[in-house]
Amino acid sequence: MRTEAEAAGPSLEPGDFVQLPVPIIQQLYHWDCGLACSRMVLRYLGQLDDSEFECALQELRLTRSIWTIDLAYLMRRFGVRHRFCTQTLGVDKGYRNQSFYRKHFDTEETRVNQLFAQAQACKVLVEKRTVSVQDIQAHLAQGHVAIVLVNSGVLHCELCSSPVKYCCFAPRGHRCFCRAPGYQGHFIVLRGYSRATGSIFYNNPAYADRQ
């Protein structure tokens, strides 16, 4: 279905507009946005079984401290073909003093670095590289989705009015309507884009109705 504005404008070429039917699943706590995103992806792929998902969390010993590499292992556990792209192989020590990481940094550093070291043997594909907007669009155009870790403090939602446009990305339980200082990590699911507006469509697990 196209909006009136789109219908009145130039015809869209294939690949100019993509919107994948990824279901929205809300996170339950302030720390489980990554797990909620994983549930969205698995349901989109038709592979989500709640009891099996809980078993997988226990097998992988996932607790309240969820790193991106944990989600890569979780996808591998369900047999989902994927690629984990990161600028840093292992824990970036530069984040040690960031409030978002400070509480669990020392205890998690060894565990996370070990997961990176074992990734190849465990058939978890990890690549040290940056990802461009063009890469993301090409990926989505093939019907694939992406779980992305973003700094919610520097992003805003074009669908919301100021000042609440900056709180769409805030993790569940954060009600501040202004930019918070420092790094505020939050996982979202990319599900489409519009080349005409330069927009990326995403599912935000902090809300049950925010796409």
Which alpha helices (H) appear in the chain, and where do they start and end? 4-8, 33-44, 50-59, 68-77, 99-102, 105-118, 133-141
Whether residue 62 lies inside any domain: the answer is yes
Whether residue 175 lies inside any domain: the answer is yes
Whether residue 90 lies inside any domain: the answer is no
* Domain of residue 147, residue span: 18-83+128-203
What pLDDT, on the 0 to 100 scale, is given for residue 173?
52
Whether residue 177 lies inside any domain: the answer is yes
* CATH label of the domain that carries residue 36: 3.90.70
Whether residue 187 lies inside any domain: the answer is yes
What pLDDT, on the 0 to 100 scale, is given for residue 211?
58
Report the domain count for the chain. Answer: 1
Whether residue 208 lies inside any domain: the answer is no
Closest CA to 157 of 133, 177, 182: 177
What pLDDT, on the 0 to 100 scale, is given for residue 163?
53
Whether residue 151 lies inside any domain: the answer is yes
pLDDT means per 10 residues, the chain with 211 residues, are 37 74 92 95 93 94 91 96 93 68 74 94 95 95 95 71 53 48 83 93 83 58
Whether residue 34 lies inside any domain: the answer is yes
